[in-house]
Chains A and B, each alone.
Chain A
Amino acid sequence: MQGELIKRAVGLMENGTVNRVLGWRRGEFVYDITPSVFSDKDDLEKNFVYNEFCGNNLSRYLVQESEKEGKIAVFLKPCDTYSFNQLCTEHRIKRDNVYIIGIECYGKTSADLLREKGISAILDAKNNNGTLIVETVYGEKQIPMMDVMAERCVSCKSKKHVIYDELIGEDGGVLDSHRFDQVEEIEKMTAEERFNFWRGELSRCIRCNACRDVCPACTCEKCVFDNPKSGIRNKGAADDFEENMYHIIRAYHVAGRCTDCGECSRVCPEHIPLHLLNRKFIKDYNELYGPFMAGAEIGQVSPMCDFTKEKDAEPSIVQKGGAE
């Protein structure tokens, strides 16, 4: 598939449709891939890569890239197209400056996921019909791709490209993939168990902000947590409360806008399952206001921005003159 992508990208540059291409650049190893803008055809042919380790969602980079001179081509996996749409809805991407090539995705893995399964010292990896053959410093190891697939891919919400200018490969459909199962388990806990669960997870946070900085829904020019005038800036949490607050505020802020791309959990160096906070909101939205999928189309209005008395999920709480 990589060859086909390169060929198409070069073609688009040659016929003048675009002047640069946003994709993935090969690294030192098979897995350490970097998002990159290619503006040179030779560079692209030599260094563009697409494989099982290209997990990065490229949509976020288009906030800056679409402001620049000329059109840029981008390769988007189905889940990345939802982020793209959402950013267009929020007027963060200039749609006309982007040429989208939708590409098929069968799920991604990462070196970290391989290491969790005891496969480390990775030198190379190849996917042979669903089996990952990994060359390591200590010999060859084999593992089914399904066993090392990222959680967000195992519970993939959609193989459908919700926006594209052209497709390479086939388009799929929206999937029922049980992505709310884990949320339900947490809902079943007692309040105390749930609090302890999240304390256990969030207490590991090192406030590197990677979850925020990679998030396609977090594109504020100045985050409240970086702004000394906001009164809640913190570089490190002074106590448990602040540790929780950062993540809870973030989850609230992206509610109705989060497309469940799962980048937050992918980048967390402490493996905090941050996507579960967002999924809880998505699940609540679905249950309280009817099915809603952020990014499904450009211009749709989130239930939180579409308040009417009839649609109010808890109409008894607020009355004229304040809460009861």
Chain B
Amino acid sequence: MMYKLPLEQLDKFFAAIAKDETLYVPVDVENVGAVYQPWKEGTKMSKALNTLRSAKDFFFPQIQPMVKFRREGKKIEVIDDRKESEDFVIFGVRACDAASFDVLDRVFLADPVDTYYENRRKHSTVVTLACTLPEETCFCTSFGIDPAQPGGDARAWMTLDTLYVEPVTEKGTALVEKLNEVLTESDDKDVEQQKFYTHEILKHLPLHNLKPTDNREKEMEIFNDPRWAELSSHCLGCGTCTFVCPTCQCFDIEEFSGNKTVERYRCWDSCMYNDFTMMAAGTPRKTQKERFRQRFMHKLVYYPIKNDGVYSCVGCGRCLKKCPIHMNIVKVMKTLGLEEEE
């Protein structure tokens, strides 16, 4: 069922949601870009195509405090100040980021369940927003994602004067039901028209025809390809691609320790780092070539093999924009023939 509301009443819509729970919307921050911030009276939603950082931060934050220890004489106190998440709504998630939640779910919600992640997912309602002005770095369609028909608990479309909302899941339906004073039922004529236009634009994007191959048979062949050396040769070994990536999910557990206290926390880790998966015997990936290869093999080969062919890239294009040397998954796919021939 489709619902609508005049765009000039968008604040009313946001206020109705924010009445009961925290609502996050993308907001433009000067000299920075679009950033999710809690909505309050007067907050102006960003018109940017996407946020600087991906929406994975809501469920898998960079830093997750786990436990604290405090020493007093011979006594050690163990402090578990874990807090359960409160209900919250994210509005304006794009199709790519929404698809990344499915990729993350397959990792964090598989046995053994990651209870930090699960807790946040349970308490969230994701309202997606269809794209209308995709960019040259977009290639979500390569992974079967339709930017004009995003996932999430409910999805929204914005035309010049109207917001359309369609609930998808039970959580989305519950949210829309609570908003019956601001939303009215509608047909989907304008939405269908917008989808048509967006699909037309997609055909003109330079990466539109990039399609990954089903490469399960070629796993070792790709692994041993000599061209990894050239592709990785100028990689700085920084973690930018992994940290802006909506599907990268590796983490480490670190401790911040003082004389009498220790804080143990979980933080994002990057397979691009030289101490990633460091073991007593050293690192299994000795040079940047092996580390670089791991990142793309994981996204394009290992993950799909283990997850019914689902790739662990959603084509959001953040790594294309942010890599200091502009090496990225698209160049890897094209060089190694991981794309289908035209």
Contacts and interface: CB of A to CB of B under 8 A. Distances in A.
B325 interface: yes
Interface stretch (B122-130, B156-164, B182-190, B201-209): B201-209
Contacts of B268: 206-207, 235-236
A235 B252 contact: yes
Contact of A33 (B53, B236, B265, B326): B326
Interface in B114-156: 133-136
A74 B146 CA distance: 44
B325 A35 contact: yes
A35 B233 CA distance: 9
Interface centre among A34, A120, A233, A263 (most CB of B within 10 A): A34
A297 B49 CA distance: 46
B33 A206 contact: no
- The A interface is mostly helix, strand or loop, or mixed, namely loop
Contact of A112 (B256, B273, B321, B334): B321
Nearest to B257: A231
Contacts of A121: 133-136
A154 B250 CA distance: 39
Given A112-B321, A138-B133, A242-B256, A267 B240 contact: yes
A238 B256 contact: yes
A140 to B, nearest CB: 14
B254 interface: yes
B237 interface: yes
Contacts of A267: 238, 240, 324
A148 interface: no
Interface in A154-170: none
State which size class the interface on B falls in: 35 or more
Contact of B239 (A56, A137, A207): A207
A61 B204 CA distance: 37
A7 interface: no
Interface in A203-221: 204, 206-210, 212-214
Contact of B136 (A29, A207, A235, A263): A29
Contacts of B331: 27-28, 34
B325 A226 contact: no
Nearest to B53: A206
Given A34-B234, A138-B133, A269-B52, A208 B327 contact: no
Interface in B304-327: 320-322, 324-327
B63 interface: yes
A182 B242 CA distance: 32
Contacts of B32: 204, 270-271
Contacts of B204: 137
Contacts of B233: 36-37
B330 A28 contact: yes
A271 B31 contact: yes
B238 A213 contact: yes
Given A35-B325, A36-B234, A271-B31, A208 B240 contact: yes
Contact of B326 (A34, A122, A123): A34
A210 B324 contact: yes
Contacts of A29: 136, 206
Contact of B254 (A31, A210, A214, A234): A234
B63 A206 contact: no
B86 interface: no
B263 A32 contact: no
B97 interface: no
A266 interface: yes
B16 interface: no
A269 B33 CA distance: 10
B254 A235 contact: yes
B63 A236 contact: yes
Nearest to B323: A32
Contact of A210 (B134, B240, B265): B240
A237 interface: yes
A33 B206 CA distance: 16
The 9 closest A-B pairs by CB, nearest first: A236-B267, A238-B256, A267-B324, A32-B326, A210-B238, A213-B236, A213-B238, A208-B239, A208-B240
23 contacts: A28-B207, A29-B206, A34-B331, A56-B324, A120-B136, A121-B136, A137-B134, A138-B133, A207-B243, A208-B238, A208-B242, A208-B244, A209-B238, A210-B236, A210-B324, A213-B324, A214-B236, A226-B273, A233-B254, A235-B254, A235-B269, A238-B263, A269-B240
Interface of A: 27-29, 31-37, 56, 61, 111-112, 115-116, 120-123, 136-138, 204, 206-210, 212-214, 226, 228, 233-239, 242, 263, 266-267, 269-271
